[in-house]
Amino acid sequence: MAATTSYIIFLSPPLSTPEQIQDIARLPQRPEIRAINEEESDADEQDEYGEQPAASTSCCVVDRSTKDAIVEWARSSGVVLKPIIPIIQTESADTTVAHQDSYPVPYFLYGRLDSYALLRSILGLAQPPTLQRASVSDYETKTWDGKDALIPSATGRSVEGRVYMTISYDEVEKLADYEGFAFEVSKCHITYANGEVCEGNVFRYRGDRLGLEDLHEQI
């Protein structure tokens, strides 16, 4: 199931209206107001600031660039906002899922992410990560904007890489930040080097294939 990251911005002083969000982020349209309850926002979970939102309040759901603009405005203005909650919106349902039910979750990494040093830097790990060699079938890799792009293969190809066991939604969000808007989280079947197969997740390319170039790392 594919998913994209959005953010809940709670409306309360000093950020009380969607017009303020539109002005700060220079949006072409005003974001819609929605009511959100404790269950939907996962209020029992602390956010990145170590705080908790109100059980029921008004909010706007925005994308990452808008969230970044709001955070920068708050920092430069010296104001304190209610917690900003990251969420995952699935394509197959209208509901919003704040995080995966349980961890660890295996993520298949390929291309640049198949690197101990880079992964450690992205996740801010104190020690080198544990990675296991693996592959995914019925996929191939192309190049998009200088980085590897995983797409479904009609010829039964497979892609080699490594598996990292994510231990929290925070780690998944950091990986999503690195991959960027052109990639989405999808389910996949991972085959380890010893032949064991398990279900996991992978970031695959979701953009226009006309912009893709061939990559030599296909097998």
The string of pLDDT tens digits covering residues 25-34 is: 999 999 988 8
Percentage above 70 pLDDT, the chain: 77
pTM: 0.55
Question: H-helix or E-strand containing 123?
Answer: helix 116-123
Provide the pLDDT for residue 46.
41
Helix ranges restricted to H, the chain = 18-25, 38-41, 64-77, 116-123, 169-179
CA distance 36 to 41: 7
Lowest-pLDDT range of 9-18, 35-44, 52-61: 35-44
CA distance 159 to 180: 20
The one-character DSSP state at 31 is P
Strands 147-152 and 139-144: antiparallel
Residue 59 confidence (pLDDT) above 90:
no
Question: H-helix or E-strand containing 173?
Answer: helix 169-179
10 Å CB burial of residue 43 (0-12, 13-18, 19+) is buried
| pLDDT band, residue 96 (cuts 50/70/90) | very low
Q: Which two tokens stand for residue 116?
A: 């101990």
